[in-house]
A and B are shown apart, each in its own frame.
Chain A
Amino acid sequence: TKCVHLSPVSLSEVTATSRHYVDRLFDPDPQKVLQGVIDMKNAVIGNNKQKANLIVLGAVPRLLYLLQQGSSSSELRAECAVVLGSLAMGTENNIKSLVDCHIIPALLQGLLCPDLIFIEACLRCLRTVFISPVTPVQLLYTDPTVIPHLMSLLCRSQRTQEYITQIFSHCCKTPEHQTVLFNHGAIQNIAPLLISPSYKVRMQALKCFSVLAYENTQVSMTLVNVLVDEELLSQVFVRMMQRDQPIDMQLTAAKCLTYMCRAGAIRTDDSCIVLKTLPCLVRMCSKERLLEERVEGAETLAYLMEPDVELQRIASVTDHLVAMLADYFKYPSSVSAITDIKRLDHDLKHAHELRQAAFKLYASLGSNDEDIRKKITETENMMDRIVSGLSESSVKVRLAAVRCLHSLSRSVQQLRTSFHDHAVWKPLMKLLQNAPDEVLVMASSTLCNLLLEFSPSKEPILESGVIELLCSLTQSDSPALRVNGIWALMNMAFQADQKVKGEIVRALGTEQLFRLLSDPDSNVLMKTLGLLRNLLSTRPHIDQVMSSHGKQIMQAVTLILEGEHSIEVKEQTLCILANIADGNTAKELIMTNDDILQKIKYYMAHSNVKLQLAATFCISNLIWNEEDGSQERQDKLRELGFVDILHKLTQASDPNLCDRSDTATHTSLPLSFSFSLHKTDAHKHAHCVVGY
């Protein structure tokens, strides 16, 4: 009972002292108010409890009132801003309360005052508020006069420079923000700060450039031409990456150059990228760096070299990077668990981030070069790590792991060996059952590659009931998922036996198949046509499919040939016709359809050689000598004037076409012509998958 009795007393005592501070703000004597604010300032420094009390007791509106009053002395106004800045330094709840009291517009208004000390106090408080994750950054852009005014304040003092650039770098989150800042001369205004005598100013200015340049071509293209004290900005960044500079500065400068490079403003073979930025980022991945730095370094490096195989090759031999990354998986280390709880906590917090960063970097490293992929898979326990990464609780790690797996799955050799040995398809299938869309996209992409005909994983995947899953993907709202679903089905259908093909058709349903043939996404359409072609291969299959779905297929083909489609789509469609023409009974569906025959004739005279070639294949199959009824078909086609066209084509400039039409006129086509054509084309698809 003693305790119960005591605590309300002490609480009310605390509130009483806090109350006294607030009361003094209402004193009629301005001198006493000033003294009250100063005392309050000294009372709240480093005292979160006191800060919370004062906020609860309503100090903030009063301070804001005093700060905005024209009658207040400039000293009082400045002290008010200082106290508010101190309150903002507390907890996130404090920030929320301050923002709710409309502190931001009040402080922004305060910046119009000429008094520098007051401006600095306002900016300091604004900085603290804006760098908090709970503050909506949009508040900076509500009033369009704010950004230009902040730009004009940059020349006032080192403090205004530091605070304003810090606000900018935290509040530039979207391309729109980048454009607003850019349009108000951010680059010209901030560039000179890169050589400021103050480290803090240099650092914040640098951070500004990194957020401004990120995925922004306009900013990046402008940056490369900027001179700072007669030196190119890229050279200034290079100097900031020197090894004796603080790590934070090296890393941020490397980010700036990375973003400029990715935006196309600096060539990937520029020495400042190859000899400076890339090695700097590799250094950031080393064991000597802090865990946070290693994460950022690896992510930035992955981003830098993603599109460039030469950079990937260089990075793969720089400072044993591939082996260095293996260390990212060793957190929390067994040693730290025993010796140091704090360290363990730190390790645990960063373990996920480290793993996902390493997976990302491996994915980027291995996206093109077969030797690098080999090197990665040969790294200690690499495949096991990926496999366990696929089932981690953190979505970020799962995504990165599957990205890595996808990158490695582009290797025929790896698909045949390590992928099969580690049965990666199992966790992959599990991942596909229930995952966010972005993970699904990557996972299904990887699955496409695992379903290639030479992949030993194809069989077990088929047995695991993947068809239903893929069919459901084709119904997704996301075009990427639809593409991957149909793509995987297409790969699966390639050279598959009748049973699998039947299952695909059954599971997908003809309705869905034809819906996909009118999909707005041309990629989906292409892959659906590819699937159709793979289903329509080998004579018995062709006849079987056509006998059950002939009518719809012919309709769909007609529609596509009539519609506005790319050359590739039309070529693919003509190839389907060529396959149909190879069937025994199926060819009649063409021979009896004058509309289609006219279309084939039209494409034989098309200006595009590929389309001419595909149409000619189709005719060749129809007039093939050794089959029943070939004479009748030849007669009919002669009637329709095909022979003249073929004769014309024999004089064509394209040797391929010339050859085909030649064989067609002499009706001595190679055996199973459609099959071989089909096969090569399917391979083209297979490699498309690999290169995706």
Chain B
Amino acid sequence: MDAMAELGAGSLLLGDPAFNYQEHELNERLKRLYPAVNEDETPLPRSWSPKDKYSYIGLSQNNLRVHYKGHGKNHKDAASVRATHPIPAACGIYYFEVKIVSKGLDFLSSLLPLSPILGWDKHSYGYHGDDGHSFCSSGTGQPYGPTFTTGDVIGCCVNLINNTCFYTKNGISLGVAFTDLPPNLYPTVGLQTPGEIVDANFGQQPFVFDIEDYMSEWRAKIHGMIARFPIGERLGEWQAVLQNMVSTYLVHHGYCATATAFARATETLIQEDQTSIKNRQRIQKLVLAGRVGEAIEATQHLYPGLLEHNPNLLFMLKCRQFVEMVNGTDSEVRCFSVRSPKSQDSYPGSPSLSPRHGATNPNLHSAGADSPTCSNGVTPPNKNKSHNKYPGISSASSSSSSSPSSVNYSESNSTDSTKSQPHSGTSNQEETRCVASDSEMEIEAEHYTNGVAENPSARIMNGTYKHQEILQAQDISLEDSCASRQLCGGNQAATERMIQFGRELQGLNEQLCREYGKNVTHKKMLQDAFSLLAYSDPWNCPVGQQLDPMQRENICSALNSAILESQNLPKQPPLMLALGQATECVQLMARVRSGSCSFARVDNFLH
């Protein structure tokens, strides 16, 4: 009989549009209710388990309907079924409902919504319909609530923050039933008399009780707790810490003028000297503009020995340089170009320049890697590979070196309002200051003249902006270049130079292999880069993503960190460390079953 019920369920699963719709509803609702739950680690209960049940229990309707098929003569005939999974702690507050479809013959229906092990006895918690008593870990019942019968909807809410539980009847909270609940409870239902039928709602339908309202209270409570967290006598210290965090962040990303202004206003000191900051800034800008060759040169010039000691980094840079050659942006190929490199040399608004958080990026709330842009100035190395929302951050605390630290650059803000005058001069660096129309932020626009007559001003946006705007900017730039987009800018000499460079790169790889042994990452990198040549239109090929200017950010940030490290400065700004620490803590809270993590999510606090 069990099998039949399950079979029925199985056939329903396939292609029933109503069911698919319900499934969709369920997923949406669960995502909304329990955003902090990582279902890869801790799946949510979605139906009763056909495996974990008494034989007297029959399941139907996608394992949501439970009916009793035993004799129901005495208490020994009682039977129960539990849900497929225990309640994850990261829910914070968990809720499900059961509708009494039919009460059976006598008044001995009961509900045991929580039970780590199947059954009536140890560690189970229940609310019985016949007498309204609550039962806790066997023993006698305590008077708790009203009785319930056919047509009633009974809900059970587990608060994993304070480890209590309350039941609801027809949308009315009956008050706390149990305290000090153990972890890993399963939603469970128990029946005892023939004819009893109950339907579960794990989120398939809207709940009768307004659980979201209840959650909002706890969210507000926990946010209040965080906001009012006592810092005691460290109040003065607190401000210094915050100022230091802001300052180091600005310095790290080379917002030189802003950092100086901030230091002046807050009367703090910047550890790194101005020249060093500007040097880093310059190198970063070169990388972001796709002029990796120049960036390597500048690095070798300014930080002799750095790349020699970091052969992996050098290899990455060279690989990137090759890609940029294909792109036609690297100066080694661009010098051959006769046409104006207007479209290529503009860095089309990296979407991940400055931290952008929850509010502007709706994708952020969904776990997984569906977002091409990412917050906190970190770009996932590859959108298909990234599993972690904060790769840069997790690396900070989990000591994996898989992803580079955050990237952030600023030269000028606003895509089109910056019209840096093409100052031609002999000086390598010339500072122009201008003020954006709607912001009082100081802007530095720098110009590089490397003997090439061009307008090198990179279009890099700063601050926060909407997702759509970025996409638009990209669309425009793609359109721009589409017509004239050709390998190495379409120049024969440049192509030859590229091929020669490719050989050199191959040589470098072989050399590295000899010195340090085989490196899978390098091999893959090289393969990917060379694959670009296999397609007539590299921009529209399976590996074409490499050509995306956004791909420059990782290498740029890796280079920046390496420079900082070589100067005995932290390779990550403390702000990002703190952010990573906080994020990791919240995830850890979920693992150690501290329910408040669901309402203390870091992105709730980033605006």
Interface residues of A (CB under 8 A from B): 242-244, 271, 274-276, 278-279, 314, 317-321, 324
In addition to A275-B210, A317-B172, A319-B166, 5 A-B residue pairs with Cβ atoms within 8 Å of each other are A242-B213, A244-B216, A319-B173, A319-B175, A320-B175
- The reply on B241 being an interface residue by CB < 8 A is no
Nearest residue in A to B169 (C-beta to C-beta)?
A317
Contact B216 A317 (CB under 8 A): no
Q: Is the CB of A279 within 8 A of B173?
A: yes
Alpha-carbon distance between A320 and B143 when the two chains are bound, in angstroms: 11
Q: How far apart are the CA atoms of A524 and B145 in the complex, in Å?
A: 43
Residues of chain B contacted by A244 (CB below 8 angstroms): 216-217, 219-220
Which B residues are CB-close (under 8 A) to A279? 172-173
Q: When A242-B216, A243-B214, A244-B217 are in contact, do A275 and B171 touch as well, CB less than 8 Å?
A: yes
Contact of A318 among B174, B213, B216, B219 (CB under 8 A): B174
Pick from A243, A274, A278, A314: contact of B217, CB under 8 Å: A243
For B210, the chain A residues whose CB sits under 8 A away are 275-276
Interface centre among B146, B169, B175, B219 (most CB of A within 10 A): B175
Is the CB–CB distance between B172 and A243 below 8 Å?
no
Question: Once the chains bind, are B220 and A318 in contact (CB under 8 Å)?
Answer: no
Q: Using known A-B contacts A244-B219, A244-B220, determine if residue A318 contacts B175 with beta carbons closer than 8 Å.
A: yes
Per-position binary interface string of chain B over residues 195-229, scored 1 when its CB falls under 8 Å from any chain A CB and 0 otherwise: 00000000000000010011011011000000000
A-B contact pairs, 28 of them (CB 8 A): A242-B213, A242-B216, A243-B213, A243-B214, A243-B216, A243-B217, A243-B220, A244-B216, A271-B171, A274-B171, A275-B210, A276-B210, A278-B172, A279-B172, A279-B173, A314-B172, A317-B146, A317-B169, A318-B172, A318-B173, A318-B175, A319-B166, A319-B173, A319-B174, A319-B175, A320-B175, A321-B175, A324-B175
For residue B176, CB closer than 8 A to chain A, the reply is yes
The answer to whether B216 and A320 touch across the interface, beta carbons within 8 angstroms, is no
Interface membership of chain B positions 122-161, coded 1 if the CB is closer than 8 angstroms to chain A and 0 otherwise: 0000000000000000000000011000000000000000
Instruction: Name the B residues within 8 Å of A274 (CB-CB).
Output: 171-172
Residues in B whose Cβ lies below 8 Å from that of A318: 172-175
- Name the residue on A nearest B177 (C-beta): A320
CA distance A320 to B220 in the complex (A): 23
CB distance from A256 to the nearest CB of B (A): 18
How many chain-B residues does the 8 Å CB contact rule pick out? Answer: 17
Query: CB-nearest residue of chain B relative to A276?
Result: B210
**B193 → A minimal CB distance (Å):** 24
Set of chain A residues within 8 Å of B174, measured between Cβ atoms: 317-320
- Asked if A275 contacts B220 (CB within 8 A), the reply is no
A278 to B174, CA, bound (A): 13
Q: Interface residues of A: mostly helix, strand, loop or mixed?
A: helix
Give CA–CA (A173, B455) in the complex, Å. 75
- Which residues on B sit within 8 Å (CB–CB) of A275? 171-172, 210
Nearest residue, chain A, Cβ from B224: A244
Report the minimal beta-carbon distance from B170 to chain A, rounded to whole angstroms.
9
Report B-chain residues with C-beta under 8 Å of the C-beta of A319.
Answer: 166, 173-175
Q: How far is the CB of B225 from chain A (nearest CB, A)?
A: 14
Set of chain B residues within 8 Å of A320, measured between Cβ atoms = 174-176
Tell me the bound Cα distance from A536 to B16 in angstroms. Answer: 80
Distance in Å from the Cβ of B324 to the closest Cβ of chain A? 49
Closest to B210 in A: A275
- Cα A317 to Cα B170 with chains together (Å): 12
B206 → chain A, closest Cβ, in Å? 13
The docked-state distance in angstroms from the alpha carbon of A279 to that of B171 is 10
CA of A317 to CA of B172 in the docked complex: distance in angstroms? 8
- In the complex formed, the residue of B with least CB distance to A378 is B143
> In the complex, A278→B170 CA distance in Å?
14
Chain B residue, CB-CB nearest to A371: B146
Residue ID in chain A nearest B171 by CB atoms: A275
Chain B proximity of A304: nearest CB distance (Å): 14
Cα-based distance from A275 to B173 in the complex (angstroms): 9
Chain A residues within an 8 Å CB radius of B176: 320
Residue of A nearest to B144 (CB): A320
Complex: A208 Cα to B542 Cα, angstroms: 65
B210-253 vs A, CB cutoff 8 Å, 1 = contact: the mask equals 10011011011000000000000000000000000000000000
A314 partner residues in chain B, CB cutoff 8 A:
172
Chain A residues in 8 Å Cβ range of B172:
274-275, 278-279, 314, 317-318
CA of A276 to CA of B219 in the docked complex: distance in angstroms?
A: 19
What is the minimal beta-carbon distance from A511 to any residue of chain B, in angstroms?
Answer: 55
CA distance A279 to B211 in the complex (A): 13
Give the CA-CA distance A319 to B176 in the complex, in Å. Answer: 7
What is the CA–CA distance of A275 and B168 in the complex, to the nearest angstrom? 11
Q: List chain A residues, Cβ under 8 A from B214.
A: 243
